[in-house]
Amino acid sequence: MLRKNLSMTFSMSVLSVSLLLSACQKQNDDTEKTVSAAQMTQAKAIQNPYEFTANLENIPVQLPACEGNNCPEFQVQRLNTNYDFIDTQVDAAILAALRNNLDLAAINPAASEVFASEPEPSDLNHQVQQYAKAFLILDQQLKSMNANPQITFHVQPKILRKQDNIVTVQLNSDSFLGGAHGTEAQQYLVFDLKQKQQLKLGDVLLPNQKDQLLKQLHQQFQDWVIEQKLANNVQEYEDAWPFKLTSNFYFSAQGLVLQYAEYEIGPYVVGMPTFTIPYEKLKGIVKSEYLPKPDTVAATTASVVKGTA
């Protein structure tokens, strides 16, 4: 009987020790998992210190019910990112595009006076609605003159490129407000996530290197005039369309891209001329932090943006 009791006591002791070891092992496993998850999060942050997300959203506007082929189209989209300073600058560029295309004073002086007398709304949606009203007034004015065109206005930002801490937003706008043809514009906004600022052309150039950049750009301009057969000689063309440096730029995979607006350095037929200066020709002109590194990976493109229908 004593031997049996001793055997049972020993078995229970072994079972207790086993359960204790199992519990300790489970606790250790949970600790290892927690440490592993923390390490992975930290490693991810190191690999991608400038995480960037962006979404497009339509700005709601009130348009009248309309049927037929000449209904006015008005659509403005805005960008929502995880960087407030980018959203602020893009919103400002959207408003500038509206001002440049829809002159409230010319279209509706009374509405323009009221709009100007009020404090500028901080809400972009309200400001866009004011321009939508002016757009609809223009539509009615054209129809009252027996003109029956379908007038349109669209503004859409998109993420053109994301490379390390540099993000490029392309702001597209197009309109047809009557007349012989419509207009189109593309503005590039380059942002430095590290510095949290929008970069101007002068910000990316080394000191006293603007003339060197202008020299290379002018050479491409001259080649373009000859290749496109725009004039008998470059000087003849420049007498009508003087060459100048544009501030509209971005960095592509190939180099520094400078794009001109319609009618800026040529007639409507040439569209929006674009010139690219390869990176190998930018050494000593552009600051080294904006030149590609030897181990540069492919940049993400507009696919990072989740659009709205």
pLDDT surpasses 90 at 24: no
Nearest by Cα to 259 from 269, 241, 271: 271
Q: What pTM did the predictor assign?
A: 0.78
And the tokens for 294? 């030897």
pLDDT digits (tens, 9 = 90+) for 103-125: 766 666 655 554 555 545 568 99
d(CA 63, CA 44): 46
pLDDT surpasses 50 at 102: yes
Higher pLDDT pick, 37 / 247: 247
Phi/psi for 171 (5° steps) reads -100, 110
Phi/psi for 76 (5° steps) reads -130, 130
Confidence of residue 49 (pLDDT cuts 50, 70, 90): confident
pLDDT surpasses 60 at 42: no
Give how far the C-alpha of residue 201 lies from the chain's centroid of Cα atoms, to the nearest Å: 16
Contact by Cβ (8 Å): 149, 176: yes
d(CA 262, CA 186): 10
Give how far the C-alpha of residue 125 lies from the chain's centroid of Cα atoms, to the nearest Å: 19
pLDDT digits (tens, 9 = 90+) for 143-177: 888 777 899 999 999 999 999 999 999 999 999 99
Beta partners for residue 191, in sequence order: 167, 198
